[in-house]
């Protein structure tokens, strides 16, 4: 993840600047941890490494601690500083972002637990061959979403939002493959269902990464693009 500074603006109060920068640092640190959780959960799945899966699952509490601490800090700043305009948008975007990061962490934990279960028996190869590229796609989305947040990159954010459609298509294809496999080999039903849960978690991670990118667009341009169809460039709200 890029360490490029978020645009925080300049304030008369140096303390206010320091508080906003502290929030920035915490969000980027939380994002880095979540990236690691997703990466290692997928690694555990692909490698059949139950020990790594257990390790990832046991670390989820750290993501939760980040969310609570950042949320409390944002609430304190809003109450004491009563920020307006772009500063308020920043804090609102941060609060929404950490919620999505926490949920990505939850989905990574689910994948890690499923990886531990699947390590006990070889999962169907056809389904696994689809899970791997889907996992790579979702990992890339998470990384790019966090980079757009760090850089305030609206163009990059739009690309992440558009990428979510590919993840949804991959999920639908995965479902069809799993249903076919279960019909052909009823003995594999439980293992295939576990893989379907993994695919569902990946699809949700893609949704959360897309949400984070939408918050970047809201923060920089002042436009809420949720539930809208975007064609062409987005202009800033005057």
pLDDT, position 83: 85
Mapped onto helix, strand or coil, the DSSP state of residue 228 is coil
Do 170 and 234 meet the contact criterion of CB atoms below 8 Å apart?
A: no
pLDDT, position 71: 96
Domain ranges of the chain: 14-221
pLDDT, position 3: 40
Walk along the chain (238 residues) and give the pLDDT tens digit of each residue.
444 444 445 554 678 888 888 998 899 999 999 999 999 999 999 999 999 999 999 999 999 999 999 999 999 999 988 888 778 888 999 999 999 999 999 999 999 999 998 888 766 677 788 899 999 999 999 999 999 999 989 999 999 999 999 999 999 999 998 898 889 888 888 888 989 999 999 999 999 999 999 999 988 888 777 655 554 455 554 4
Domain 14-221 sits in CATH 2.40.50.140: no
pLDDT, position 189: 86
pLDDT, position 4: 41
Q: Can you list the pairs that 24-30 forms with residues at least 24 positions away whose Cβ atoms lie under 8 Å? A: 26/66, 26/69, 26/70, 26/73, 27/70, 27/94, 27/97, 27/98, 27/101, 27/149, 28/1, 28/3, 28/146, 28/150, 29/66, 30/63, 30/66, 30/67, 30/70, 30/98, 30/101
The DSSP line for 54-78 is: HHHHHTHHHHHHHHHHHHHHHHHHH
For residue 19, what are the CA distances in angstroms to 64, 101, 150, 196, 233?
Answer: 21, 21, 17, 43, 33
pLDDT, position 64: 97
Q: CA quadruple 107, 113, 119, 122: dihedral positive or negative? A: negative
pLDDT, position 137: 96
pLDDT, position 120: 81
């Amino acid at each position: 993840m890029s360490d490029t500074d978020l645009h925080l603006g300049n304030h008369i109060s140096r303390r206010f600047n320091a508080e906003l920068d502290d929030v920035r640092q915490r969000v980027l640190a939380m994002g880095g941890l979540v990236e690691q959780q997703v990466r290692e959960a997928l690694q555990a799945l692909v490698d059949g490494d139950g020990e790594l899966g257990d390790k990832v699952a046991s670390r989820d509490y750290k993501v939760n601690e980040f969310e609570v601490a950042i949320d409390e800090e944002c609430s304190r700043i809003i109450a004491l500083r009563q920020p307006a305009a772009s500063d308020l948008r920043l804090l609102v975007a941060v609060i929404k972002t950490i919620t999505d990061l926490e949920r990505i962490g939850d989905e990574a934990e689910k994948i890690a637990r499923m990886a531990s279960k699947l390590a006990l028996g070889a999962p169907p190869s056809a389904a696994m061959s689809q899970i791997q590229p889907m996992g790579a796609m979702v990992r890339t989305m998470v990384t790019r979403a966090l980079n757009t947040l760090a850089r305030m990159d609206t163009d990059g954010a739009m690309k992440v939002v558009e990428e979510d459609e590919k993840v949804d298509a991959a999920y639908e294809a995965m479902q069809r493959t799993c249903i076919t496999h279960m019909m052909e080999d009823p003995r594999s039903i439980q293992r295939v269902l576990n893989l379907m849960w993994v695919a569902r978690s990946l699809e949700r991670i893609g949704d959360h990464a897309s949400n984070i990118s939408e918050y970047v667009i809201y923060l920089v341009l002042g436009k809420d693009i949720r539930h809208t169809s975007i064609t062409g460039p987005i202009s800033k709200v005057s």
